[in-house]
Amino acid sequence: MNKKNSITDLISVIDYLIRTGYSNPSLVASIGVSAGGLLLGAAFNMRPDLFRAIILRVPFLDPLSSMLNSDLPLTRIEYNEWGNPLENKETYEYLASYAPYDNISSIKSQQTCSILVTAAMKDQRVSYWHPLKWVARMRIKQLIDKNDNLLILKVDKERGHFGAENDQSKRIKDVALELAFLISQVQNK
């Protein structure tokens, strides 16, 4: 019941770095992986003006739907961390208040940064439909982007949650793609 603190803490740190001149929104880039994707997705929903580019790698963007489906492999063991929204209305409302997928419509302005989202078809931790649903809803809700920002979805059909963990060549290619994306978005902007 304190998850929002991590989201507002991240926002506060980025805001501080901008206010004190260490950075500016045209240079802020961030990567969120798995539950870190939830953190970054929620922060983006609350303050899209703070970011120039973000990467959401196999992101957990729909915690409410997952926690409502006890048939998913990890849901029951996650009740200790997230609570059980099936049995507790307060837990349901709290999850719904920050879940990235459920709060896209609360974005205060049009998409203000470029986003690269990845999914893995064989991911047993974050079901591939989390990022797919989020990107689909973003494309519906954010039809107009006056700044020519990108919303890219990359789906890997062969890998799981940890990507190419045993194949160094594929890991290097994945990192190269992500770094190229981030650099292309912050240089000369």
In the numeric block, which tokens belong to residue 37? 């994707």
Q: N- to C-terminal Cα distance for the chain?
A: 38
Residue 70 backbone phi and psi in degrees, to 5: -70, -5
pLDDT tens for residues 68-81? 988 877 777 888 88
Q: Is 71 helix (H, G, I), strand (E, B) or coil?
A: coil
What pLDDT is stored for residue 106 in this prediction?
47
Angle at Cα 36 formed by Cα 31 and Cα 38, nearest 5°?
A: 110
Secondary structure (DSSP) of 108-148: SSS--SEEEEEEETT-SSS-THHHHHHHHHHHHHT---TT-
In the numeric block, which tokens belong to residue 148? 């020519």
Among residues 23, 26, 49, 161, the one annotated as catalytic is: 161
What ranges do the domains of the chain cover?
A: 3-177
What's the CATH superfamily of 3-177?
Answer: Alpha/Beta hydrolase fold, catalytic domain (3.40.50.1820)
Q: Is 161 a catalytic residue?
A: yes
Q: Is 130 a catalytic residue?
A: no
Among residues 62, 102, 123, 174, the one annotated as catalytic is: 123
Among residues 30, 34, 65, 66, the one annotated as catalytic is: 34
Q: What percent of the chain has pLDDT over 70?
A: 87
pLDDT tens for residues 32-54? 998 899 999 999 999 989 999 99
- Is the per-residue pLDDT at 109 higher than 60? no
